[in-house]
């Protein structure tokens, strides 16, 4: 009997931590299944999907840059959340059909849920970046009822993105260059949804005068896991959420879809991921 497997696809793909995360959980559960990675160029995406359709051992894949939108026409249908977000990060086989889902939104929101349920939950959020990564984040924040300011190089693109995904009154845009200037301390949650600060990319220039004294700084970049933005926020005594939190959260949802069992996460929240985090950092 052929071993069932899933994988992550993208270009580049060598940097992905998904094989390590899923492999860790598979070993913990003792499941006879595998999870790998496939380097898929944009011009090869259609062939990849066609070939995997014919492989009965393939149960699905995670999708990362630059394929989250390009893969949509190659699938049979979309889960409603993925259709609304307009991006797919998880493909599942259901019989002969390939279904596109998006686990980025719940994965992003998971570490914020205790805070958002608090009496003093943040209301004003700054999201940095108007690319593909921002789509699921904007939907998650809009559904949580937060007022959003979207910072981007192209404010017309940012406005169109807000109008599509988070059209509530009060949501606005700003130029990303203005982040380097002192602000009014209005933002209670700051989310970097751009590649700025990622290894091999320019740094994110952010003036902490844009954030309130009790702000939460959330950087979805995972390489490095502690970005300069996170490091500076911690030195100021601010609460932070790193990119691994979102990555592990979205991976846990995908894992259950792929293998039919919940990911073994200890306490069932971010506090239950300490062993996995230690493994990812080389500590175990």
- Confidence at 15, pLDDT banded by 50, 70, 90: confident
CA distance 180 to 204: 9
The DSSP call for residue 120 is: T
What average pLDDT does the chain have? 93
Q: Which of 68, 157, 169, 175 is catalytic?
A: 68
Is the predicted pLDDT of residue 196 greater than 70, yes or no? yes
Buried b (16+ CB within 10 A) or exposed e, 165-176: bbeeeebebbeb
Q: Which of 23-27, 113-117, 171-175, 250-254 has the lowest mean pLDDT?
A: 113-117
Q: In what order do the strands lie in the sheet with 58-63?
A: 34-39, 5-10, 58-63, 90-94, 97-101, 77-78
How far is residue 78 CA from its own chain's centroid? 18
For residue 138, give both structure tokens: 């904007």
Number of H-type helices and E-type strands within the chain: 10, 12
For residue range 54-83, what is the model confidence (pLDDT) as tens digits? 999 999 999 998 999 999 999 999 999 999
Is the predicted pLDDT of residue 88 greater than 90, yes or no? yes
Give every CB contact of residue 69 below 8 A, 6+ residues apart in sequence: 86, 87, 88, 132
- Confidence at 267, pLDDT banded by 50, 70, 90: low
For residue range 98-108, what is the model confidence (pLDDT) as tens digits? 999 999 999 99
Residue 68 annotated among the catalytic residues of the structure: yes
Cβ neighbour number for residue 279 with a 10 Å cutoff: 16
Class level of CATH domain 106-241: alpha beta
CA distance 167 to 138: 10
CA 260 to each of CA 29, 44, 254: distance values in angstroms, whole numbers, following the listed order: 12, 29, 10
| Averaged pLDDT, 231-250 | 96
Partners of residue 33 on adjacent β-strands: none
- Confidence at 183, pLDDT banded by 50, 70, 90: confident
Where in the chain are the domains? Answer: 5-102+245-280, 106-241
Domain 5-102+245-280 and domain 106-241 have a common topology: yes
For residue range 17-46, what is the model confidence (pLDDT) as tens digits? 999 999 999 999 999 999 999 999 999 999
CA distance 144 to 190: 15
CA distance 151 to 173: 6
Whether residue 276 contacts residue 24, with contact meaning beta carbons closer than 8 Å, is answered with: yes
For residue range 197-209, what is the model confidence (pLDDT) as tens digits? 998 889 999 999 9
CA distance 167 to 148: 10
- The structure's pTM equals 0.90
CATH architecture of structural domain 5-102+245-280: 3-Layer(aba) Sandwich (3.40)
For residue 231, give both structure tokens: 């490091």
Partners of residue 149 on adjacent β-strands: 126, 172
């Amino acid at each position: 009997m052929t071993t069932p497997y899933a994988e992550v696809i993208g270009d580049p793909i060598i940097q992905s931590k998904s094989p390590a995360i899923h492999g860790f959980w598979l070993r913990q559960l003792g499941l006879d299944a595998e999870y790998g990675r496939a380097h898929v160029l944009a011009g090869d995406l259609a062939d990849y999907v066609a070939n995997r359709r014919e492989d009965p051992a393939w149960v699905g894949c995670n999708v990362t840059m630059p394929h989250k939108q390009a893969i949509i026409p190659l699938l049979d249908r979309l889960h409603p959340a993925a259709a609304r977000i307009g991006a797919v990060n998880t493909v599942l086989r259901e019989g002969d059909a390939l279904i596109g889902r998006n686990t980025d939104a719940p994965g992003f929101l998971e570490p914020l849920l205790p805070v958002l349920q608090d009496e003093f939950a943040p209301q004003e959020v700054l999201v940095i970046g108007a690319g593909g990564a921002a789509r699921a984040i904007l939907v998650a924040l809009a559904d949580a009822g937060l007022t959003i300011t979207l910072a981007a190089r192209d404010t017309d693109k940012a406005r169109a993105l807000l109008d599509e995904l988070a059209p509530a009154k009060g949501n606005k845009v700003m130029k990303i260059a203005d982040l380097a200037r002192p602000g009014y301390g209005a933002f209670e949650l700051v989310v970097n949804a751009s590649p700025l600060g990622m290894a091999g990319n320019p740094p994110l220039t952010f003036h902490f005068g844009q954030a309130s004294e009790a702000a939460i700084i959330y950087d979805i970049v995972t390489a490095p896991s502690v970005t300069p933005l996170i490091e500076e926020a911690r030195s100021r005594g601010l609460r932070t959420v790193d990119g691994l939190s979102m990555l592990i959260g979205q991976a846990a949802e995908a894992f259950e879809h792929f293998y039919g069992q919940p990911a073994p996460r200890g306490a069932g929240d971010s506090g239950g991921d300490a062993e996995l985090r230690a493994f990812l950092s080389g500590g175990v």
